[in-house]
Structures are given as structure tokens and as C-alpha cells.
Amino acid sequence: MLIRNGWQTKGLYNGALGTVRGLIYVEGKKPPTLPLCILIEFDDYSGPSVVPGRNLVPIVSETIQFDSRSGVSGSRQQFPLTLGWAIMIHKSQGLTLNRVILDIGKSETNLGITYVGCSRVKSLKGLAFNKSFSWERLDKVNKSNSLQIMKEELKTLEQLL
């Protein structure tokens, strides 16, 4: 998963998913040295490719400068990538995904978290649930005290407008 916006109009955006297809090293170098770039085949990429007919994009490392609270400066070199085979619903906020296998757990840990998880996928065709659940699981959310308070607040705000 890409963790920085690159070329958004071509599909390189924060949260873009892809598959690592290769590592390219400077001639004569090998691990533990960082590679020159990582070749990623992105699912939704539509720009030029290093291999015709494939969505391969070379991702290069970036150096991040930082200052600690104690006043010490530093830097780190890393690739703007993270494993994306499993992410928490909170991390998925703001993402639009083609396919989602969702585990909503036994209960609503935060009001609306089930909705957030379900709403990340582009279509119902791309949504699957890891485990089955009863209607009562969702009905508990509808009857929850938090939701009732929120509904009352919305009624009050509507009256003010």
C-alpha cells in the first residue's frame, strides 16, 4: 500500500494497493543496503509503465527530516509503502477500495465503525464479510444509547436551523 500521494490522477494515491514485483539494486550492492527502487504493480495505475502492458511503477525511497522534542534532529530513509494485506477500519477511513473482506467483530467499539468499514468499498459486489453475524448485531447499533443521543442532537440542530 502506498502511503503518500504521488500521481493521483493516474492511480498513485495514499492507499493505492499493489503487488511487489521486484527490487532493483545499484550495481555491486545487495542487502542489507536499501534497493534503488521497488517495482510495484498497482491495481489502479493508468500511467506509463517500465514494462509495456503492465502497471509497474518504480517507487524510490525518500529521506524524512525530523526534530525530536528534546531538540535532537535526525533523518530516516524509507520507502513510502506499508503492508496492506490487512488494515484496521480506522486506517481505512478516507480510502476507496475495490475489494474488502471485513471483520466487524462482536460489537460496535465506536459508533459508526461498522458503517465506515462497509462504506470503503466501491460497490457491494466487492464487499465480503470474514464471519457471518446476526441481524441482532446490527440492531444493537440502531438501539444503542449513543445513537439515540446523536439523533436527539440532530433534531435539536434541525430546529435551530
> Percent of the chain at pLDDT above 70?
100
Is it the case that residue 15 has pLDDT exceeding 90?
no
Among 10, 7, 4, smallest CA distance to 47 is for: 10
Eight-state DSSP code of residue 28: T
Q: Is 14 exposed, middle or buried (0-12, 13-18, 19+ CB in 10 A)?
A: middle
Distance, in Å, from the CA atom of 73 to the CA atom of 57, rounded to the nearest integer, reads 32
> Percent of the chain at pLDDT above 90?
46
pTM above 0.85, yes or no: no
What confidence tens digit (pLDDT) does each residue in 116-139 have?
A: 888 988 899 999 999 888 888 878
The pLDDT score that the predictor gives to residue 40 is 96
Provide the pLDDT confidence category of residue 55 given band limits of 50, 70 and 90: confident
Q: Is the peptide bond before 80 cis (omega within 30 degrees of 0)?
A: no
Is it the case that residue 36 has pLDDT exceeding 90?
yes
Provide the pLDDT confidence category of residue 44 given band limits of 50, 70 and 90: confident
Strands 62-67 and 37-42 come out as unpaired
Long-range contacts from 55-61, C-beta under 8 angstroms, 24+ separation: 55/11, 55/18, 56/21, 57/12, 57/18, 58/24, 59/2, 60/36, 61/34, 61/37
Q: Report the pLDDT averaged over residues 34-45.
A: 93
Is it the case that residue 62 has pLDDT exceeding 90?
yes
Distance, in Å, from the CA atom of 153 to the CA atom of 151, rounded to the nearest integer, reads 5
Q: Is 148 helix (H, G, I), strand (E, B) or coil?
A: helix
Strands 18-24 and 37-42 come out as antiparallel
The pLDDT score that the predictor gives to residue 27 is 95
Provide the pLDDT confidence category of residue 77 given band limits of 50, 70 and 90: very high
Mean residue pLDDT of the chain comes to 89
β partners of residue 26: none
Provide the pLDDT confidence category of residue 68 given band limits of 50, 70 and 90: confident
Indicate the residue type of 128: A
Is it the case that residue 143 has pLDDT exceeding 90?
no
